[in-house]
Structures are given as structure tokens and as C-alpha cells.
Structure 1
Amino acid sequence: MATRTTSKLSDPRVRARVRASLAPWVLVAIGLLVPGTVLAASPPPSSVAAPCLPAPLARGHVAEVTAAGDLVLDDGSVLRPAGLAGGGAGTAVSWRAALAGRVAGREIAFAAGPARDRYGRRAALIASPGAAAAEEGATLQQALLREGLAVARPEDAVLACLPAWLAAEAEARRDRRGLWRQLPLAAANIAALRAQQGRFTIVAGHILDIGKTARVDYLNFGRVWRQDMTGRVEAEGRASLTARGLASADLAGRHVRLRGTLFEAGGPAITVRRAEQIELAGNAVYASPGDAMENGAEGRARRTGDE
């Protein structure tokens, strides 16, 4: 007589164990979709929180703060304050004076890896000079963000710091300090976006829909893909979203702030390589559902399935 095999999932005890194992992932996905949530502040479910400033810290004496906001130490090495952007290009960055006032001619504590960029700089986390005991682990970058002199740029060296940094940045945004007198740029304001091509900035708007091809997911802020603002989520960005229990499709219909370097791709665009580049904004605080259509242009929507 043939023996009928029964699926293990038919056993109530097995089903209960499966539900229990899935519950944390479901809660993470739901939690990330609450208005005002910062994806950067929500690490992958499997990660363990790491300190912002690793120990031990190196020490050095600052001989000069350059116009670009870099620190030149007495030994000739150059430190780039990691994770800062938006301070200007071609002239002194907006945080240069504040940075020089805090560290020029003084000894600093910092953490920097051995890798150097094409300018010979090492990306560094810089301890805030004279930080109170209650703020142990505070960084100089965090202080500059709180003053609105810069915006946070997600990069490998700063991911553990981002929750605190974005909280500091939010204070500057609420009080419209510094750069936040002009930021975020409205996704519907195509002229303003094109004026910032090649620069790191923050764009706010309503994602109307998601276009999808084999290689790229498109976060469409408007109907005219040859003109309107678009976020491009490629393989690296897809993987980063997946690590947080999300997919690009989950962002459809959401108000977001998107940070990154603007470039032209038939319209202004930002490539999303990290989930930390996306912040879910509250309703109508930075954009309303109609904002993305205000340019009045006509054209066809981006096709999905091919390019």
C-alpha cells in the first residue's frame, strides 16, 4: 500500500515555530514604513549595534584646516571629516570656519582607516573636543550637523554614527539653521535640481510609482521620466533595502527625503546605493501628493520591464 507523505507545515507545532521565527522580520518591515522613519537608523535585523567611535583612538595635532574642510596634521597626513556633505564646492565649505575654530592648532582624537583617496586623504571620525561625560563618543561631525553647516552623507566609515547624526541633523532642519534654509529641494522644482547637478543634496517629494527593469528600479517622482526627478535603485541598493526587509515597491506612494549626488539621466536623478539614503517623511511636511505634477509637462510614463 502506498504511504501518503504529509507536509511538515501541516503540523500545528511546526506552523507555530515558523510564525514565531518570521514575526521579528514582519515587525521590522512594518516599523520601517511608519511616517518619519529614517531607514538609516534601522540596521539590518541580523546586525549588532557598534559604537560610533571605535577604541582606541589615534591622536594628532592639527596644523591647518584647508578651504575644503580637511585637517592637515603636523606629520603631514590629511584627514577628511567622514560623512559630511552639502557645504559647497569650489570655495571654502560652510563648515570650514566652525571646524577651524574648534580644532586648528589643537590636539584631536580620531579614528581613521589606512586607505587614502585620490587626494591622499583618510576618512576620519573626529571626537568632539571637550565632550561632556554624558556625551562620550560624540563626534565633531555631529556638532556641525546640529548647526546646519553640513548634511550627513552615508558611507562605510560612519554607518554606526548615523542614528545620532541624523537626530542632530533633524534639529537643524526643524529650526531651519544653515543649509536647511534652502533644503530640502522640492522634487517638482526641476530648475533648482538641475542647478545642483554634480553636488550632494537632499530632495523631498512624493514617489508616484515604481518602474522596474531587470537591472534598475526607478523611484518616479513625476509622470514624465525624461524630465522629472527619479531615484535609481540598482543591484547594490536593492540588496541594501532587502537587508532591511524592504523592496523598492514598498516606497510607492510615500513622501520621502532622498539624499545623494544629483546627475542628469533624461531628468534629475540620484543613484540609491544604500537604504540610508532614504528617509520617510511625514505627510505634507516637505511635499504634498500634487507637488510632483506641478511642472505641467506632458510625456509618457517610464516603461517597466525593459529600458
Structure 2
Amino acid sequence: MAMRTTSKPSDPRVCARVRARLAPWLLAAIGLLVPGAVLAASPPPASVSAPCLPVPLARGHVADVMASGDLVLDDGSVLRPAGLGGGGAGTTVSWRAALVERVAGREIAFAAGPARDRYGRRAALIADPGATAVAEEGPTLQQALLREGLALARPEDAVLACLPAWLAAEAEARRERRALWRQLPLAAANIAALRAQQGRFTIVAGHILDVGKTARVDYLNFGRVWRQDMTGRVEAEGQASLAARGLAPADLAGRLVRLRGTLFEAGGPAITVRRAEQIELAGDAAQAPRGGGMENGAEGRVRPTGDE
């Protein structure tokens, strides 16, 4: 089994002290000390001017809203509101009632590509029917749900141009502790709570104590013992996404972050980081998670390397 090692062979105690002294200067230089900063705030140049809602928009009449939150149109096609996560897995999603209220039996404007997933659904950006006007800069239905705290923003190809506005709406719900945010984010130190959400998209918050590295994977370690504690796994796709923003996984060591993704078990709870947009820098201890808090030993920690 591959062993996680740090990037330098030096005494880990010395490395930790050096990183602690240098990190604030390095992070300030690359703009990561802004409270609540999101790595998505600095997308690759190609996406800067992309509209959220591409025009022209298609139109369709919503015949039904499924328990999964998918919209069934009169012509039998099925739209999956792109970029939403959280709020249920294998059950009725938390935003279904809001969708029924807003769009059931009504005509909607949307943008969806021709590709269908294995369930026959097309991922769609949907104009907010409650908005005064529909335009490429206008609000989406997804943004409205995020503002109410009924869903979480899930980074995916179709929604990257929308993410800045969506994350701002989500932040409003978080500040007001609306709906899902009464329990979120989950504390990285609360292993029992994380395991209860296995297989679900959620948000985990805590300090990244250090960053381990193997030939293929960088490990964002939230705890002392990687075989039982929370870990973010950054493989080639995630490494490339961070590099596109001038970052490396090692730059995140010592930071308080919110990490979004689907939890799975890998000798401890884990989330695979495929996009920089999955990582939000929380900024300060005042925004630490509730229910388990910061007791993952962020201060004065000496982490063994390799097998434990």
C-alpha cells in the first residue's frame, strides 16, 4: 500500500514550524487571506466572460416534479436542475416542495445540452420564473433555492459561470442559518456525523492540519490519524484545477476551509477534490463548524509520516 509522505524529508517538527511561519506571508501574496474567499473566485481566464444563462433559452411546460427534484416536461423529456446537491439521497430532496410551488404546471425557460445521463436526464440551467426579466445575467432557479438554504452548490461543467452568484446566495443562507445550514457545515472532527452522511453530497469544515503526498495523490489531512480522520483526496484532475489558479495542494496546509463533495469511506471519511471550486477558505475561527468544532488538534500538532 502506498505510504503518504510529506514533500520534504526533513524533521516534521521543523517543517511544521517553518510552514506555520511562512504560510501567512505566502497566502497573503496569492490572495487567500480574505475571509470567506472561494477558490472559484479566480476561475481560468477562458471562463471569466461566460454568461450564466446562455441565449437563446429553450422553453417547456413542467408536467411534474419528481421526488428527486427532476422536472418532467410535457414532451416527456426530463431536466435535472444542474449544480445542486445536498438535501437528500435516495429520498425526496429538500427543494422539491419549492420547485413544485415555483414551476409545477408552468412554462419555464432553460438551457440544456443534448447529452443525457444514464437516467435519461439532461442537466439544465433554469431561469428563475420569479425574476422580473429573463436574461443571461438574470438569476436562475438554482440561485433562488441556494439563497433559501434548500440546496448546496455542486460544481460541475454546466454551472461554472454561475458559481460566483450561486455561492454568494449560498453564503447568505449560511449566515442566516436557513434550512440545511442549521446543521451544516459538518465538523471535520466529528467522525460519527460524517459517517452518517456517507454517500451524500455535503460540506465539511475544519483545519487542514497538513498535506501528505504520494506519487499520484495529495491528501488534505484534517486529523492526526489518516486511517480514521477526515481527508480530502486531490488526484490529477484536482491538481490541474488548482494549478490553473496558480495553487498547489500544499498551499492549503494550516487553513480553515469548507470542503464540499460526496463523502465516502477510505479508512476514514473522505471527499475527492476534482475542482478548486470545491474548496472555500473560511477565513477565521469565528466561522468554525458547530458540533465538534476545532478539536482536531490544529495547534502544536506533530504528524508522523508514512504508515501509522
Specify the TM-score bucket, using the shorter chain as the normaliser: 0.7 to 0.9
Task: Rate the CA distance shift 1:92–1:54 in 2: closer, same or farther, 3 A.
Answer: same
Q: 2:187–2:294: 8 Å Cα contact kept in structure 1?
A: no
Aligned-residue CA RMSD (Å): 2.4
- Tell me the CA shift for residue 133 of structure 1: 4.5
Q: 1:231–1:272: 8 Å Cα contact kept in structure 2?
A: yes
CA displacement, residues 161-197 of structure 1 (integer Å, 9 cap, x when unaligned): 0000000000000000000000000000000000000
Runs of 4+ in 1 over 3 A off after TM superposition: 26-29, 45-48, 133-136, 299-302
Partner of 1:146: 147
Indicate the SS of the match to 2:108. Answer: strand
Partner of 2:218: 217
C-alpha separation between the residues in 1 aligned to 2:35 and 2:306?
Answer: 29
CA displacement, residues 191-235 of structure 1 (integer Å, 9 cap, x when unaligned): 000000000000000000000111000000011011100000000
C-alpha separation between the residues in 1 aligned to 2:111 and 2:155?
Answer: 17
C-alpha separation between the residues in 2 aligned to 1:192 and 1:68?
Answer: 23
Give 2:116's aligned amino acid.
Answer: R
Indicate the SS of the match to 1:99. Answer: helix
Q: 1:225–1:301: 8 Å Cα contact kept in structure 2?
A: no
Give 1:303's aligned amino acid.
Answer: G
Partner of 1:73: 73
Q: 2:47–2:161: 8 Å Cα contact kept in structure 1?
A: no
Residue pairs, 1:51-130, within 5 angstroms: 51-130=51-130
- Return the index of the structure with the highest Cα Rg: 1
Q: How many residues align?
A: 277
Q: 2:27–2:251: 8 Å Cα contact kept in structure 1?
A: no
C-alpha separation between the residues in 2 aligned to 1:47 and 1:160?
Answer: 7
Give 1:125's aligned amino acid.
Answer: L
Q: Does 1:292 align with 2:285?
A: no
Give 2:254's aligned amino acid.
Answer: G
Greater shift, 178-187 or 134-143, is seen at 134-143
- Tell me the CA shift for residue 44 of structure 1: 1.9
- Tell me the CA shift for residue 290 of structure 1: 4.5
Task: Rate the CA distance shift 1:302–1:198 in 2: closer, same or farther, 3 A.
Answer: farther
Give 2:306's aligned amino acid.
Answer: R
Q: Give percent identity, aligned residues only.
A: 85
Indicate the SS of the match to 2:285. Answer: coil
Partner of 1:303: 306
Partner of 2:254: 253
Q: 2:173–2:181: 8 Å Cα contact kept in structure 1?
A: yes
Partner of 1:40: 40
Give 1:58's aligned amino acid.
Answer: A
Task: Rate the CA distance shift 1:49–1:285 in 2: closer, same or farther, 3 A.
Answer: farther
CA displacement, residues 105-145 of structure 1 (integer Å, 9 cap, x when unaligned): 01000000111111100000000014124985210000000
- Tell me the CA shift for residue 49 of structure 1: 2.0
Task: Rate the CA distance shift 1:249–1:195 in 2: closer, same or farther, 3 A.
Answer: same
The gaps in structure 1 that reach 5 residues or longer are: 1-25
Greater shift, 114-123 or 26-35, is seen at 26-35
Greater shift, 224-233 or 279-288, is seen at 279-288
Q: Does 1:180 align with 2:184?
A: no
C-alpha separation between the residues in 2 aligned to 1:51 and 1:138?
Answer: 11
CA displacement, residues 211-270 of structure 1 (integer Å, 9 cap, x when unaligned): 011100000001101110000000000000000010001000000000000001110000
Indicate the SS of the match to 1:118. Answer: coil
- TM-score, normalising length: structure 2: 0.85
Partner of 1:283: 284
Task: Rate the CA distance shift 1:290–1:125 in 2: closer, same or farther, 3 A.
Answer: closer
CA displacement, residues 59-99 of structure 1 (integer Å, 9 cap, x when unaligned): 00000001111000000000000000101122211000101
C-alpha separation between the residues in 2 aligned to 1:100 and 1:224?
Answer: 45
Residue pairs, 1:11-50, within 5 angstroms: 30-45=30-45, 47-50=47-50
- TM-score, normalising length: structure 1: 0.85
